[in-house]
Every structure is written in C-alpha cells, then in structure tokens.
Homo-oligomer: A and B are copies of this chain.
Amino acid sequence: MRTWMLCLMLLLPLGTMAAQNSPNNSTTPTYTDDGKLAFPATYREWIFLSSGVDMSYSPNAMPGHSMFDNVFVNPEAYKAFLETGTWPDKTMLVLEARGAATSGSINKAGHFQNSDVMGREVHVKDEARFPGKWAFFGFDDNPTAKMVPKEASCYSCHESHAAVDTTFVQFYPTLLDIAMQKGTLSAAYRKDEADSAAQAKKKK
C-alpha cells in the first residue's frame, strides 16, 4: 500500500467548491477553488477496510521503522460496493500510515499502533473531474493537497495490479469475496493470479 505515493504538483481549476477553513466533515470529495482536495477530517469514523504492517511491493524492501497502514472508505461507497462489487462515483479511500510499537503498557511482543501518524493519502473517484476517473492526493498535516501527477508510478501500478477498478481490493478481505461473487475482478488481477498459479505449479 505504500506505493500510494506522495508527489505534489498539478492543479485542476475546474468547477469547484471552496473548502472551508473549518475542518471538512464531508464524506464526498470537496475541492478548493484552485483544485486542491480538502482533507476529509472525519475519515476515522468511516468504514475500516483493513490494516497491513510493513507491506512492500519490492522484494528488496529495507527493514526500517515498523509502520501500520489503515485503510478507510466513505460509508456511501462501502454500501454501494456491497451491492455491486465495485466503487461508485465519488468514492474516497483514505490510507493512514501509523507508527508501530512493541513496548508499551503490559505489551511484550508483536506490534500495536501508536499516536505517530506518518502520512495520509486519499484515492478519489471523480469521473467528471479526472481523465482516468481516479486521482491520488498526499497529505501531511495540511488541510488541502494538490493532485499527485498522473505520471507517478502509483497510477500505473494500480492500473496493472489492482483487483477492482484500480483499487487493491485483494488486501481488503471482506470485500474480495464480494468482488468474486459479483464478477468484478479486473482482467489485470486475474492475469496476475493465473501467472502466480502457473509459477507455483512449475516449481512442484
């Protein structure tokens, strides 16, 4: 999930809503006049999809400070996914990177999540706004963020490997079954799975 990368550029000065100075409590995408996305302040009250710890898509990942990734989606999009197996327009997925600790209180092993938020990234589906329907936005502590440029590798990686509609539903266990039942798994994901199965068979 870490490949939801933080790159900052590009403005889309299309028809927009001004983001307020007060926290943005909306569950649908809200933009500033100059095309930035307003951070959805209440995402921790949205639907939790899954957590990972120290996930990496590179076999040469360097072990550093351990970190969890929590993913949330706006409730309206979650309900639509349960019915259709895919995401409606105005879906927002929020990835929160959070520090992992071992020693604390009476804990002695494994990892728990601590208060260090190391980054927040939002993946937005807004069909009329983005040429590829989806866009990424990386936030630090800022209330607004520019769109990650379309050339960033997060877009091509999600296009090439994500299970449903450019999203990594293969890592959201309660949704993967639904996508299977509804027949919404992407051709790219099904090809990856078939290749993996063929490789495993070859090794035997």
Contact = CB atoms under 8 A, between A and B. Distances in A.
A52 B106 CA distance: 14
A114 to B, nearest CB: 6
Question: Chain A contact residues (Cβ within 8 angstroms of B): what range?
Answer: 35 or more
Interface stretch (A6-14, A43-51, A147-155): A43-51
Contact of A105 (B53, B59, B171): B171
Nearest to A105: B170
A44 to B, nearest CB: 6
Contacts of A113: 50-52, 171, 173
Contacts of A201: none
Q: Copy number of this protein in the oligomer?
A: 2
A145 to B, nearest CB: 21
A161 B56 contact: no
Nearest to A98: B173
Given A48-B48, A115-B176, A176-B115, A170 B54 contact: no
Interface string A186-200: 000100110000000
A107 B51 contact: no
Contacts of A173: 98, 113-115
B55 A105 contact: no
19 contacts: A45-B75, A48-B72, A51-B51, A51-B68, A52-B110, A52-B111, A53-B68, A53-B100, A54-B109, A55-B112, A56-B108, A56-B109, A57-B106, A57-B107, A57-B108, A59-B108, A105-B170, A105-B171, A106-B157
